[in-house]
Amino acid sequence: MRSPRGEAALAAARGCEERIVRFLRDMIAIPAESCRERERCERVHREYTELGFDEVFYDSLGTVVARIGSGPFSILVDGHIDTVGVGDPSAWDVDPFEGKLEDGLVWGRGAVDQLPGIACAAYGARILMDRGLPEGVTVWLSASVMEEDCDGYCMLHLIEREGIRPDAVVLTEPTDLAVFRGHRGRLEATITTVGRSAHGAHAEHGVNALYAMAPILQDIEALNGRLAEDEFLGKGSIVASYLDVSTPSLNAVPDRAVLYLDRRLTAGETVETALAELRALPHLGEATVELLRYEATSWRGTVARQEKYFPTWVLEEDHPLVRGTAAAAAEVLGREPLISRWHFSTNGVATMGRLGIPTVGFAPGREELAHTTQERVAVEDLVAAAAIHSLIPEILAHEMA
């Protein structure tokens, strides 16, 4: 059964339903892949400003930031504003940039990952302001950039470069109204084999770098089968995701091959242990293993650089942040929410994984629909999520401040 406070929050969110949906549809209608988010950021900045938050600005990377209140206990509610591309447009049953509203569902690229969280958090904050922000609390909202390219970098920048260090973080990646408290980490690496080119008619004079990669691929497949497993986070994994070959022509022996790897890290696995496993592959021979680096320029012209290692993180289930977020959800939903974890990676790799700031996730949307042509979210879940986001700071002020 919903609490009286939950009923009131839900009623307030229902009063904002049309505006929440319009905001979400407007964001979907603006293409915004990583480093090209400017127009969507401007749309969010305008909404934050119209909602009357105490402060609204862009950080130097391009993230849209809003502040409510000025108390010593601070909560950061983050949602990334960039989305992946649409792939083959003909594979979609709907226009990915229409933000189609039909039968109580909003469709399109970003309708799960993860524009609903931005809309719900914004209106949850406005509902909280109308009800009265608890004394001693500051709520920060961030619509962060470049997450799809390099998850966590935007948070490291906001916290370490811009000086906004919260006491707790709520991520609005899709959780289907559950409370998520961690996920596996990951890294991106390459294995490079080097050969010697020769004309295809005289292949015996060359050394084929592509052939040298063949047994290494089998080693990778075998390694995946014996990686560690954790009861909560699941199993570590490794995927050979792309193979790039250098050859003078299609009639020549390739002299270089680069294999790209996606390595998911479960509890107890680190960048050091994962790279050591790769360097111990039985058929590695003289091939080299390297951790990839990210380097890109944000829409505001700031250069971002980071190694492509994203730590595993888990917040204990009895932590006040988990309990408080779950309590807020229960007051609105009338039931205890599921406590679980994401399968993919989020900005929590920075906030909790690198910086140790307690972090949870809560938002509408089903994770398995992310990055698919079936991205959609239920309007009723948008309304419930906005109501719950309006309660989270109030409850956390009691649980954690």
pLDDT at position 75 is 98
For residues 197 and 165, state if they share a domain: no
For residues 177 and 198, state if they share a domain: no
The residue from 82, 148, 173, 381 that is catalytic is 82
| Structural domain contains residue 307 | no
Domain that holds residue 366: 4-183+312-399
Q: What is the pLDDT of residues 89-148, one digit of tens each?
A: 999 999 999 999 999 999 999 999 999 999 999 999 999 999 999 999 999 999 999 999
| Structural domain contains residue 207 | yes
The residue from 147, 151, 188, 277 that is catalytic is 147
Mean pLDDT of 15-40: 98
Task: Please report, rounded to a whole number, the percentage of residues in the chain having pLDDT higher than 90.
Answer: 99
For residues 151 and 227, state if they share a domain: no
| Structural domain contains residue 178 | yes
Q: 261: part of which helix (H) or strand (E)?
A: strand 256-265
CATH number for the domain harbouring residue 246: 3.30.70.360
For residues 91 and 229, state if they share a domain: no
Question: What is 48-83 written as a DSSP string?
Answer: HHHTT-SEEEE-TTS-EEEEEE--SEEEEEEEE---
pLDDT at position 138 is 98
The question of whether 17 is a catalytic residue gets the answer: no
pLDDT at position 160 is 97
Map tokens 């811009």 to a residue: 162
Q: 313: part of which helix (H) or strand (E)?
A: strand 313-314
Q: Which amino acid is at 216?
A: I
Q: What is the pLDDT of residues 338-387, one digit of tens each?
A: 999 999 999 999 999 999 999 999 999 999 999 999 999 999 999 999 99
**CA-CA distance, 175 to 157, in Å (whole number)?**
25
Map tokens 């302001």 to a residue: 129
* Boundary of a domain, candidates 237, 264, 297: 297
> Is the per-residue pLDDT at 399 higher than 90?
no
| Structural domain contains residue 165 | yes
The question of whether 176 is a catalytic residue gets the answer: no
Residue 265's closest CA among 332, 202, 211, 344? 344
For residues 29 and 126, state if they share a domain: yes
**CA-CA distance, 181 to 13, in Å (whole number)?**
25
* Boundary of a domain, candidates 253, 272, 297: 297
Handedness of CA 66, 68, 71, 73 (dihedral sign): negative
Average pLDDT across the chain, whole number: 97
Collect all residues with Cβ–Cβ distance below 8 Å to 209 and sequence separation of at least 6.
193, 194, 195, 245, 246, 254, 255, 256, 257
CATH number for the domain harbouring residue 369: 3.40.630.10
Handedness of CA 335, 339, 341, 347 (dihedral sign): positive
For residues 19 and 154, state if they share a domain: yes
Q: What is the pLDDT of residues 180-229, one digit of tens each?
A: 999 999 999 999 999 999 999 999 999 999 999 999 999 999 999 999 99
pLDDT at position 1 is 86
| Structural domain contains residue 302 | no
For residues 176 and 320, state if they share a domain: yes
For residues 373 and 227, state if they share a domain: no
> Is the per-residue pLDDT at 400 higher than 90?
no
Q: 393: part of which helix (H) or strand (E)?
A: helix 379-399
For residues 25 and 96, state if they share a domain: yes
| Structural domain contains residue 304 | no
For residues 240 and 382, state if they share a domain: no
pTM: 0.95
- How crowded is residue 192: how many other Cβ atoms within 10 Å of its Cβ? 18
For residues 235 and 133, state if they share a domain: no
Q: 171: part of which helix (H) or strand (E)?
A: strand 168-171
| Structural domain contains residue 130 | yes
| Structural domain contains residue 50 | yes
Q: What is the pLDDT of residues 53-99, one digit of tens each?
A: 999 999 999 999 999 999 999 999 999 999 999 999 999 999 999 99
For residues 170 and 32, state if they share a domain: yes
pLDDT at position 196 is 96
Looking at the 3D structure of the chain, how many domains does it have? Answer: 2
* Boundary of a domain, candidates 297, 321, 354: 297
Convert 125-154 to b/e letters by CB count within 10 Å (16 or more is b).
bbbbbeeebbeebbbbbbbbbbbbbbbbbb
Question: How many angstroms separate the first and last alpha carbons of the chain?
Answer: 27
